Amino acid sequence: MATRQEISDFLASVERRAFKQAVYAVRDDEAALDIVQDAMLKLTEKYADKPVAELAPLFQRILQNVVHDHFRRQKVRNLWTTLLSSLQGGDNDGDSTDHDPLESLLPEENNEMAENSANIVESNQILRIIEAEIHRLPNRQREAFIMRYWQEMDVAETAAAMGCSEGSVKTHCSRATHALATALRAKGITL
């Protein structure tokens, strides 16, 4: 059984990585903080009696479940928001759809700021494409890929967190990297 100090030390050690994983999954810092906090609370409430060695895979499984729960709740919220917003109607000034406020903010050409902005935009677009391709992966491949390469967990830890064999983790990771490389190459992206 883990002591309070051991649980506290464990949570402190996984806090940053769990936050990064949650941000990557939900793309919202505030929601990611809530997700990590919920996962930590669930771990301490339900599994404080487990040995320290079992906390890492348990926490990863809890974190994945809380992320899935977040998406389920978000889906319901989006449904209701869409239904309610359709009842409100739109603006009647007629002029608002013809004017694009971003056109007045375009930087001058051959400007260093414009070039840096262009590089930033290009990098952000590539990151969005990569994230979209990761989200297109099957769930098990995506989970294995994120745990192994984003969370830097070893094969045994990933297998324990996913509830499968180490060979399955290796297979999922291999298939995920091949699928990502193929999809990115098809879009002209080489890393």
Q: What are 16-66's pLDDT values in tens digits?
A: 999 999 998 888 999 999 999 999 999 999 998 999 889 999 999 999 999
Confidence of residue 5 (pLDDT cuts 50, 70, 90): very high
Domain range summary for the chain, segments of one domain joined by +: 1-80, 116-191
Q: Distances in Å between the alpha carbon of 23 and those of 79, 130, 139, 169?
A: 23, 15, 17, 23
Among 1.10.1740, 1.20.1530, 1.10.357, 1.10.3470, name the CATH number for the domain at 1-80. 1.10.1740
The whole-angstrom separation of Cα 24 and Cα 156 is 23
State the maximum Cα–Cα separation within the chain, in Å, rounded to a whole number: 67
Q: Give the mean model confidence (pLDDT) for residues 142-163.
A: 87
| 61 neighbors 33 (Cβ within 8 angstroms) | no
Provide the pLDDT confidence category of residue 100 given band limits of 50, 70 and 90: very low
Q: What pTM did the predictor assign?
A: 0.50
pLDDT score for 107:
54
Nearest to 60 by CA among 130, 13, 28, 27: 13
